[in-house]
A = this chain, B = another copy of it.
Amino acid sequence: MSKLRVAVIGRAGRMGSEACRAVEAADDMELVAALGRGDELRTLADSGAQVAVELTHPDSVMENVEFCITHGIHAVVGTTGWTDERLARVRGLLADAPGTGVLIAPNFGIGAVLTMRFAQQAARFFESVEIVELHHPNKVDAPSGTAVRTAQLVAEARREAGRGDQPDATITALEGARGADVDGIPVHAVRLRGLIAHQEVLFGDEGETLTIRHDSMNRASFMPGVLLGVRRVVDTPGLTFGLEHFMDLG
């Protein structure tokens, strides 16, 4: 079986350098180009790449994706900063390139994606739900973006199921004790030296609780998701937003 020809755009970044290593280590892939700042996009076309992994910066991502689409190269994009307008532009370009696929994923962590998906599925079955996220103390925002996103998905699923407010008899509370309110879901952020990136979604009902916990130790944990994206994007024309669509989660 011939190997999938893969290029990485953003080879010097933290994610990009991991991606180069991961592609090289994959049995079914070949790294045919690795572009850094200043490299010509033409290299990409010359390399015969079938898929490009784009891990650069919101300022450069549109140009790179446009080049891929117009040259019939599938793209797996981890760069952030996508607005509805930008997504519309990608869809427009893809309309003229019927066989080409683009995956844009805000999160390549398979554990993180599964956590969000399971939380969404469990949401309508439980009276109570709260989120505790735990990170190293150098993190500047609280709660984490992933926790906020998870809370929003859970809140939406509760609304769709017709669930009302959560039970909470609290009368006297110290300020902040009950966490941040994200769309009705309490979210608590712990900052502790020695931790990396962790999240717990706790569901509870009469006599039982269900906890989904994700522990992420390093950037290497994103690579299985990137490789999964590469393998699937070649058979998925058009725009796919979110790795979960490639995970056959039903």
| Chain A residues close to B by CB (< 8 Å) | 109-111, 114-115, 118, 121-122, 125-130, 132, 134, 137-143, 148, 166-182, 186-196, 202-221, 223-224, 247, 249-250
User: With A125-B114, A177-B180, A221-B207 as given contacts, are A170 and B140 in contact (CB-CB < 8 Å)?
Assistant: yes
User: With A139-B169, A249-B121 as given contacts, are A210 and B204 in contact (CB-CB < 8 Å)?
Assistant: no
Selected from B181, B182, B217, B250, the residue in CB contact (under 8 A) with A208 is B217
Asked if B192 and A202 make an inter-chain contact with CB atoms under 8 angstroms apart, the answer reads: yes
Selected from B118, B122, B143, B202, the residue in CB contact (under 8 A) with A190 is B202
Selected from B130, B175, B192, B204, the residue in CB contact (under 8 A) with A130 is B192
Asked if A176 and B178 make an inter-chain contact with CB atoms under 8 angstroms apart, the answer reads: yes
Asked if B171 and A141 make an inter-chain contact with CB atoms under 8 angstroms apart, the answer reads: yes
* Most chain B Cβ neighbours within 10 Å, of A109, A126, A193, A247: A193
Tell me the bound Cα distance from A148 to B172 in angstroms: 13
Residues of B within 8 A of A214 (CB): 208-211
Tell me the bound Cα distance from A168 to B194 in angstroms: 13
User: With A118-B118, A188-B132 as given contacts, are A210 and B111 in contact (CB-CB < 8 Å)?
Assistant: yes
Asked if A186 and B190 make an inter-chain contact with CB atoms under 8 angstroms apart, the answer reads: yes
Residues of B within 8 A of A173 (CB): 141-143, 180, 189
User: With A121-B114, A142-B177 as given contacts, are A204 and B213 in contact (CB-CB < 8 Å)?
Assistant: no
Asked if A142 and B178 make an inter-chain contact with CB atoms under 8 angstroms apart, the answer reads: yes
Asked if A115 and B210 make an inter-chain contact with CB atoms under 8 angstroms apart, the answer reads: yes
Residues of B within 8 A of A208 (CB): 109-111, 194, 214-217, 221
Tell me the bound Cα distance from A141 to B179 in angstroms: 14
Residues of B within 8 A of A132 (CB): 132, 188, 190
State the Cβ distance, A233 to closest chain B Cβ, in Å: 17
Tell me the bound Cα distance from A249 to B120 in angstroms: 10
Selected from B188, B195, B207, B211, the residue in CB contact (under 8 A) with A212 is B211
Tell me the bound Cα distance from A230 to B191 in angstroms: 29
Tell me the bound Cα distance from A134 to B179 in angstroms: 12
State the Cβ distance, A83 to closest chain B Cβ, in Å: 20
Tell me the bound Cα distance from A141 to B121 in angstroms: 31
